């Protein structure tokens, strides 16, 4: 089935990799439902997409009612759902584990792990009704090793990798694929605060030094992988974890 017949839900579409992925999927011909909790940013992105083939839905992925309503609205508007890209996410502040405030733990897990679960749970009946679909979950290098964030982020992203595998196992025979992406350092708003020039800030240089490719990645580069996994070219790829990190994890 070509892209022009597919409807894709992209969370986190207001910024960074979600925005780039929404644009890439739309450029390939998909109808795109962008979801984000920042209404202004989301509206701006969706306004640029082909009219009649794009919709903005403001929702918080950690809120079960908002997610269920968002998925139902998407299907009501476009009649089907084929692709789900869970890209919305937040980071923690890498506080040492014994000092992590409980509310930070709960919030990061709610957005980065429960959020994708809620979206997948709501979307699955529609994917199954079509005879299948593709789920792409944006994990992180912190979903595979321990140096990419604090405990809440690391645990949530490891959990998202596990959720991806479980969904792939349960629904593979019914045409639903699920894959995880683990980006390394990608220049987005998420880490903009850490990238501001500041003599005392060596994070930028450390990230580049840790990355064999010698630079930060771009959201557009990740969006190419999202689109590949979302579409039929990857029809035999499921339950897999795809790094896109300029070689970060081989060190």
Ligand X SMILES: NC(=O)c1ccc[n+]([C@@H]2O[C@H](COP(=O)([O-])OP(=O)(O)OC[C@H]3O[C@@H](n4cnc5c(N)ncnc54)[C@H](O)[C@@H]3O)[C@@H](O)[C@H]2O)c1
Residues of this chain that bind ligand X (CB under 6 A): 11-12, 14-18, 36-38, 41, 60-62, 87-90, 111, 115, 138, 140, 183, 185-186, 188-191, 219
Chain-centre distance of CA 113, in angstroms? 11
Shortest distance (Å) from residue 107 CB to ligand X: 9
For residue 159, what are its two tokens? 């959990």
Shortest distance (Å) from residue 17 CB to ligand X: 4
Cβ proximity to ligand X, 149 vs 231, nearer residue: 149
Cβ proximity to ligand X, 2 vs 116, nearer residue: 116
Which one from 37, 126, 153, 171 is the annotated catalytic residue?
Answer: 153
59: left (phi over 0), alpha (psi -120 to 50) or beta: beta
Cβ proximity to ligand X, 52 vs 215, nearer residue: 215
Map tokens 């937040």 to a residue: 90
Alpha helices for the chain (secondary structure H): 16-27, 39-47, 64-78, 102-109, 115-129, 151-171, 192-195, 203-210, 219-230
Cβ proximity to ligand X, 107 vs 172, nearer residue: 107
Shortest distance (Å) from residue 130 CB to ligand X: 25
Question: Cα(first)–Cα(last) distance of the chain, in Å?
Answer: 40
Clarify whether 37 is annotated catalytic: no
Shortest distance (Å) from residue 81 CB to ligand X: 17
Burial of 198 (0-12, 13-18, 19+ CB in 10 A): exposed
Which positions are annotated as active-site residues? 153
């Amino acid at each position: 089935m070509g892209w022009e017949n597919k409807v894709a839900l992209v969370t986190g579409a207001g910024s960074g990799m979600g925005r780039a992925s929404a644009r890439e999927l739309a450029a390939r011909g998909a109808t795109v439902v962008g979801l984000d909790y920042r209404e202004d940013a989301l509206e701006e992105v969706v306004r640029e997409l082909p009219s009649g083939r794009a919709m903005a839905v403001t929702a918080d992925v950690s809120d079960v009612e908002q997610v269920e309503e968002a998925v139902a609205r998407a299907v009501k508007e476009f009649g089907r759902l084929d692709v789900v890209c869970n890209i919305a996410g937040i980071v923690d502040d890498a506080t040492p584990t014994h000092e992590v405030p409980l509310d930070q733990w709960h919030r990061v897990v709610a957005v980065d792990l429960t959020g994708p679960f809620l979206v997948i749970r709501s979307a699955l009946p529609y994917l199954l009704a079509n005879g299948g679909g593709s789920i792409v979950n944006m994990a992180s290098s912190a979903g595979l090793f321990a140096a990419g964030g604090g405990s809440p982020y690391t645990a949530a992203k490891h959990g998202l990798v596990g959720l991806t595998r479980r969904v792939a196992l349960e629904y593979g025979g019914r045409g639903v694929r699920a894959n995880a992406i683990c980006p390394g350092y990608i220049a987005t708003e998420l880490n903009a605060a850490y990238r501001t020039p500041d003599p005392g800030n060596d994070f930028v240089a450390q990230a580049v030094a840790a990355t064999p490719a010698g630079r930060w990645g771009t959201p557009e580069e990740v969006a190419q992988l999202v689109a590949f996994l979302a579409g039929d070219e990857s029809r035999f790829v499921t339950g897999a974890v795809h790094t896109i990190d300029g070689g970060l994890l081989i060190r």
